[in-house]
Structure 1
Amino acid sequence: MRARFLMTALIGAGVLAAHSVPAQAPSTDAQINAIVQSILAQMTLAEKLEYVSGTGAWDIKPLPRLGLPQIKASDAGLGVRLSNPVGVAYPAGPALASTFNADRAKQMGVGLGLETRLSGFQQIAGPGLNMYRTPFSGRAFEYLAGEDPFLGAVLGAAQINGIQSQNVWADAKHYIANEQEVNRFNLMETVSERALREIYMVPFESAVKNANVAVVMCGFQGLNGANPVCESHAAIQQTLKNEWGFKGFVESDYAALKHTLPAAVAGVDIERPSANIFSPGALGALLANEQLSQATLDDKVRRILGRLVAYGFIGGVPAATGESHPPFAERAALDVAREGIVLLKNEGQLLPLRRETSRNIAVVGKLATGAPPTGFGSAHIAAARYISEIDGLRQIAGTGANIVLLDAVTLDPARSAWTTPSGASGVQAQYYANPTWSGAPVLTRVEPMINLDTSGGAPQSGDYRGPVYGGGGTAQPASVRWTATIRPTVSGAHVFKARANGAVRLYINGQLVMDNGDGNPLPGNVIPPTIPVNARVMLQAGQTYNVQFDYSARPGYIAVFGGFLGAQLSWASLQAPPNLSGFDAVVVAAGHSAEYEGEGFDHPFTLPEFQDELIANLSRANPRTIAVLHGGTGFDMQGWIDGVGAALHAWYPGQNGGQALAEILFGDVNPSGKLPITIERSITDNPTYANYPQASNDLNFSAMTYTEDIFVGYRGFERSGRRPLFPFGFGLSYTRFNYGALSVSPGIAAGSGRVAVSFDITNSGEVAGAEAAQVYVAQSGSAVPRPVKELKGFAKVFLQPGETQRVTVYLDQRSLAYYDAARNAWVTEPGAFDILVGASSQDIRLRGQLFNLFRSVTNTRVSNPLPAPELVRLGPVHP
């Protein structure tokens, strides 16, 4: 078996020589401030008021009189979405988190920054640094921290340094506590100061202190009485700016501001997208009546100018080069996918597949076809080029392999078999000029499938070219009725899936089996998704069924960000095909996509489309079934995990994810991803269950208290003693790693110096592999409640068979401390601390001890989340 690890040097001999970054000048704070003050002194009051009001997008307004160019910003943190063509589609945030590798974060950051700059932008809206609390979270796929603040502190700062090395502003978002999407414009969260400081603020603190991030974006939801968090003086002005020393500027999330004076005083420096709340008139009136000081306005302008000066943008910005998808960025996306896919189960060493014996492979699931899936919303990237998962398997399996997609169990409009009432292949479509299917249809025709795309972008032949009703410039029928017959080949449960921007009704043999009511979009959502509706129906093999599918369009949906306009219907069996046992392996692509997960809404813990039943049935018929999960969260796996031969969490693996997955399945790449989250057996085990027991997009859900406090994720599981299905930090490999020779030096801490935790890792297997070793700190007998243990260091090493490497991870006083709200400081108690080194939070291999002699109290200005900040600085990536 072959195994390879393809490392890329970020800054090295000619790697980026063709895309050199212009020299930045000036380089010191004193020089920057002098130039800024000179510009500020020349600005009129009217110009200052205009400068902080936004442009209608994410840009900074130009001021040609003073040589200030328009600064252009692009969405989003998983790719340069606003370029044409769009940039490289990178793996999702949790995939990067699963690498446990700062070098991969730097590499992805350089790729993002490079493409941003080449596309003519000076800012990218990312990375996302929010935490993972619950598997319901719609935007979890964007965030790179997982459930651990230290992991986010390392990877976030590393990626920001990579982005900003390309003379591009990074934008840390969404400050702060944006861990769920439910009622995001009005939800009031109550979070203790200790939980904010120890968990939710840490990645942002690191972004400021270890990466000098240029921009911070404040979010929609309310926090501890401030509504929105953009109006929290404590979070923005006091903590971010005064205590942490943030030098950049704070921008609002898109239309996040509600009140002019509170937001201005809280520390927001510029409104996005335009002058709605921060209008020159509104701010000018506050100045005139002395509710807002001139110094406060000047500080906002000064902060924005400071970033222009620091990045050399005064006088103009580099023009777009016209180059897209540079090889460096393509490779970065592939490398993150290779290291980010997590092997969860490998019964009987089913994996890696062997080319000489795995010649006949079945693939199930639409997610395996086309572009690898991603989430909905402003981070959605419709990949301009990609390697699908089935194509990746076909390429990597080699010539002669039979890789076949099983249409009968793949839910896809293009693979659903229909027959018209007259016996022809396809469906009969009747289009009506009213929303109630009344009267005579104005258009009747036979269509090959039910795949009506009224936005004109259907990949199949079902795009709408009929009459236009209702105005608005959109080719949109008022209502449509499709009729057809189907004849299943397997008896048992089948699934029907409808995706439509409106009301749908599905009748089988005259019986109503699907009804989504009036079909209106999610309330309170400015970018409403088109979420599918699913129905489970029992059918008999060989029997003919009459199908009627009614669709009536509704306004308010969108076709961008992964959305959809029109109507689709597909059906598939949930039963295994009769010949499934004859395949050497069955690869099932399951989970979420932009249809079910994304910005503005939360989703259930269960898999959609009755996929749990499908996977269970397939694995019973063929125990060599391999489940490949997609999405930004954990899933309920209880119904099928014991039956499958192997399981992997591929997250959203990006445009090159099909290649990365196939390389792992066939052993060309040894999996090394580790879970950045805890996957629970039951949702009732999750520490957040008391305050968010089920996914809700109800606008009446208006308040949430983080009752788990600091005990989020594995901290909460260990406190309650509940055993997860897969613990934080878990991930299998095709080789074995032994740990040994732990030393903690010095073993007695008496000051602010660093402590070296050193140990050996040996690859005791037969193939090359990588191990992400994790260092946890535990203190018992504390004066305050403490987690059983907390991640405070990690290191990823790449080892050949038989190779041993000495690894050193550093700790300091912050590694031992808790936040004391009364003191507004980090407190380290005297006493013994256990140092635990392991392969996951539940697989501790080595135990040592550190004794701290004296109580220490460190103020929030001095304290740093990282004991070794140099590890996240941009530099060479070492294999």
Structure 2
Amino acid sequence: GTKELDEKVSNVLRLIFRTSMDPHKPFGSLGSPEHGQAGRQIGEEGIVLLQNNGNVLPIDLNKTKKIAVIGENAIKMMTVGGGSSSLKVKYEISPLDGLKSRVGSKAEVVYARGYVGDPTGEYNGVKTGQDLKDNRSEDELLAEALQAAKDADYVIFFGGLNKSNHQDCEDSDRASLGLPYAQDRVISELAKVNKNLIVVNISGNAVAMPWVNEVPAIVQGWFLGSEAGTALASVLVGDANPSGKLPFTFPAKLEDVGAHKLGEYPGNKEELAQSKHRGDTINEIYREDIFVGYRWADKEKIKPLFPFGHGLSYTTFVYGKPSADKKTMTADDTISFTVNVKNTGTREGQEVVQLYISDKKSSLPRPVKELKAFQKVRLAPGEEKEVTLTVDKKALSFFDDGKHEWVAEPGKFEAVIGSSSRDIRGIVSFELK
């Protein structure tokens, strides 16, 4: 016992000596303007342009007199709540404020609530200080929103989820894949009165979008912290060219998810019926095995709402034919794949080149393909760059539960180069000896 205790105490003391007792320690800073600037840039880079039919985005402020902003998430603070993601921040710029300060006197920005979700703003004693109470009916809120939207040059709907229970929150499951608070109705009605509708989904999770074909522009806005409103405004008016890619699949419907298709969520029905009180164990069997996310969609040939790795830009990228530095590799070797990417549009942008590996024949079931490398490349209009992605044996391996080890089986493989998991730009075959 004493030996372990001494070790633990030594670890703590060592850290103290290396940090707070260091006489040459430089002065740091907390919540500085530089931190805010970093937060803004990270936000801008992470925002994903999901859809942009008719190039509605970016908003051209030179041709805009009035912008209508609709939705509770345009004004609701999102740093408080959600479980361990709850924060006590120095400040938080809302999407509405961010847009207003960026637009300035160039155009009129009007706001209508559109829907009321959760007016509270407190979690674990941290209060947002916002009072979002609103007792109007759904119909009254909708009528006001449509009135504001119908003669606007652009309508931006900020909706999605929030950090409340049954939303993007730790201790309770989502109530549905669909948007809460009757937002679908508001979005569909807005689409009828204004053709320049932009929906910004504020969430950390996928949501169903039954109105996807009625809405020209859709942006995934995540929870972006202190500079949320600044970063979103920057992308919406085109100061920043969006370059984020989806880190998970947006399914069209819940049945398109393996766990829901095969499972008995949230647990076995009979066991649930018998379980009378808390403390009972409910068994959830993961019947989808390793086929989660895009691996399931690929295997079942399901068309997602938006695929893993998807993200559009305000410019266009053309890929050349990819090549490999060798035809065959050995287990102690690496293999590199090279592809030329050219910005064929009129503005600077960034593209994330993705490399998936496909094992053509294996002793155990494997996904159709798996992401093994990616690289973000910045290109000026007309500029072309060579992107090289290198992988080793690890990228070809799978875990064999019988042998209880990672295995790379010799045979034929394919390197699949894409702009998303479903937007494939080229394939290179190679062999592992």
TM-score range, shorter chain: 0.7 to 0.9
Question: 1:309 and 2:14 equivalent?
Answer: yes
Query: 1:380 maps to which residue?
Result: 86
**Superposition deviation, residue 460 in structure 1:** 6.1
Q: 1:301 to 1:672 in 2, by over 3 A?
A: farther
The code of the aligned residue for 2:380 comes to Q
Question: 1:347 and 2:17 equivalent?
Answer: no
Cα distance in 2 for residues equivalent to 1:728 and 1:398: 36
Q: How does 1:290-305 map to 2 (within 5 A)?
A: 298-299=3-4, 302=7, 305=10
The code of the aligned residue for 2:331 comes to G
Question: 1:581 and 2:286 equivalent?
Answer: no
Q: How does 1:812-823 map to 2 (within 5 A)?
A: 812-823=392-403
CA deviations over 1:51-87 (Å, ceiling 9, x no partner): xxxxxxxxxxxxxxxxxxxxxxxxxxxxxxxxxxxxx
Cα distance in 2 for residues equivalent to 1:310 and 1:828: 40
Q: 1:664 to 1:830 in 2, by over 3 A?
A: same
Query: 2:107 maps to which residue?
Result: 401
Q: How does 1:233-248 map to 2 (within 5 A)?
A: none
In structure 2, the gaps of 5 or more residues are none
Query: 1:655 maps to which residue?
Result: 226
Q: 1:778 to 1:314 in 2, by over 3 A?
A: closer
Cα distance in 1 for residues equivalent to 2:16 and 2:222: 34
CA deviations over 1:494-537 (Å, ceiling 9, x no partner): 43xxxxxxxxxxxxxxxxxxxxxxxxxxxxxxxxxxxxxxxxxx
Cα distance in 2 for residues equivalent to 1:396 and 1:579: 20
Query: 1:753 maps to which residue?
Result: 333
Question: 1:336 and 2:6 equivalent?
Answer: no
**Superposition deviation, residue 326 in structure 1:** 2.4
Q: How does 1:401-480 map to 2 (within 5 A)?
A: 401-407=107-113, 409-411=114-116, 459=129
Aligned with 2:347 (options 767, 781, 792): 767
Cα distance in 1 for residues equivalent to 2:323 and 2:132: 66
Q: 1:684 to 1:308 in 2, by over 3 A?
A: farther
Cα distance in 1 for residues equivalent to 2:126 and 2:294: 46
Cα distance in 2 for residues equivalent to 1:643 and 1:310: 57
Check the 8 A contact 2:179/2:208 in 1, yes or no.
Answer: yes
Cα distance in 1 for residues equivalent to 2:82 and 2:392: 40
Cα distance in 2 for residues equivalent to 1:367 and 1:646: 17
**Superposition deviation, residue 400 in structure 1:** 3.3
Using the size of structure 1 for normalisation, the TM-score is: 0.45
Cα distance in 1 for residues equivalent to 2:215 and 2:384: 34
Question: 1:356 and 2:26 equivalent?
Answer: no
Check the 8 A contact 2:265/2:284 in 1, yes or no.
Answer: no
Aligned with 1:590 (options 159, 162, 166): 159
**Superposition deviation, residue 827 in structure 1:** 1.0
Cα distance in 1 for residues equivalent to 2:78 and 2:10: 40
Query: 2:180 maps to which residue?
Result: 608
**Superposition deviation, residue 797 in structure 1:** 0.3
CA deviations over 1:175-224 (Å, ceiling 9, x no partner): xxxxxxxxxxxxxxxxxxxxxxxxxxxxxxxxxxxxxxxxxxxxxxxxxx
User: Alignment identity in percent?
Assistant: 32
Cα distance in 2 for residues equivalent to 1:695 and 1:719: 24
Q: 1:815 to 1:304 in 2, by over 3 A?
A: farther
CA deviations over 1:633-657 (Å, ceiling 9, x no partner): 10011x2111112111111011101
**Superposition deviation, residue 376 in structure 1:** 1.2
Check the 8 A contact 1:671/1:733 in 2, yes or no.
Answer: yes
Check the 8 A contact 1:740/1:759 in 2, yes or no.
Answer: yes
Check the 8 A contact 1:392/1:661 in 2, yes or no.
Answer: yes
**Superposition deviation, residue 310 in structure 1:** 6.3
Cα distance in 2 for residues equivalent to 1:451 and 1:670: 32
Paired residue secondary structure (1:688): helix
How many residues are paired up? 419
Query: 1:730 maps to which residue?
Result: 310
**Superposition deviation, residue 592 in structure 1:** 1.4
**Superposition deviation, residue 584 in structure 1:** 0.7
Q: 1:831 to 1:308 in 2, by over 3 A?
A: farther
Cα distance in 1 for residues equivalent to 2:393 and 2:341: 26
In structure 1, the gaps of 5 or more residues are 1-44, 49-297, 415-449, 464-483, 489-493, 496-538, 540-570, 854-879
Larger Rg: 1
Check the 8 A contact 2:94/2:228 in 1, yes or no.
Answer: yes
Query: 2:289 maps to which residue?
Result: 709
The code of the aligned residue for 1:582 comes to D
The code of the aligned residue for 2:116 comes to L
Question: 1:806 and 2:386 equivalent?
Answer: yes
Query: 1:623 maps to which residue?
Result: 195
Paired residue secondary structure (1:657): helix
Query: 1:844 maps to which residue?
Result: 424
Q: 1:711 to 1:299 in 2, by over 3 A?
A: farther
Question: 1:781 and 2:368 equivalent?
Answer: no
Q: 1:713 to 1:739 in 2, by over 3 A?
A: same
Cα distance in 2 for residues equivalent to 1:661 and 1:591: 15
Question: 1:641 and 2:212 equivalent?
Answer: yes
Check the 8 A contact 1:683/1:693 in 2, yes or no.
Answer: no
CA deviations over 1:421-466 (Å, ceiling 9, x no partner): xxxxxxxxxxxxxxxxxxxxxxxxxxxxx9999x795836899xxx
Q: 1:695 to 1:842 in 2, by over 3 A?
A: farther
The code of the aligned residue for 2:208 comes to D
Check the 8 A contact 1:371/1:655 in 2, yes or no.
Answer: no
Aligned with 2:413 (options 830, 833, 847): 833
Paired residue secondary structure (1:785): coil
Q: How does 1:200-211 map to 2 (within 5 A)?
A: none
CA deviations over 1:114-154 (Å, ceiling 9, x no partner): xxxxxxxxxxxxxxxxxxxxxxxxxxxxxxxxxxxxxxxxx
Q: 1:630 to 1:304 in 2, by over 3 A?
A: farther
Aligned with 2:98 (options 389, 392, 409): 392
**Superposition deviation, residue 597 in structure 1:** 2.2
CA deviations over 1:383-409 (Å, ceiling 9, x no partner): 3212211111112223231111114x2
Query: 1:535 maps to which residue?
Result: none
Using the size of structure 2 for normalisation, the TM-score is: 0.87
Cα distance in 2 for residues equivalent to 1:413 and 1:705: 34
Cα distance in 2 for residues equivalent to 1:739 and 1:303: 53
Q: 1:583 to 1:462 in 2, by over 3 A?
A: closer
Aligned with 2:32 (options 319, 322, 326): 326
RMSD of the TM alignment (CA)?
A: 3.2
Q: 1:579 to 1:303 in 2, by over 3 A?
A: closer
Q: 1:829 to 1:311 in 2, by over 3 A?
A: farther
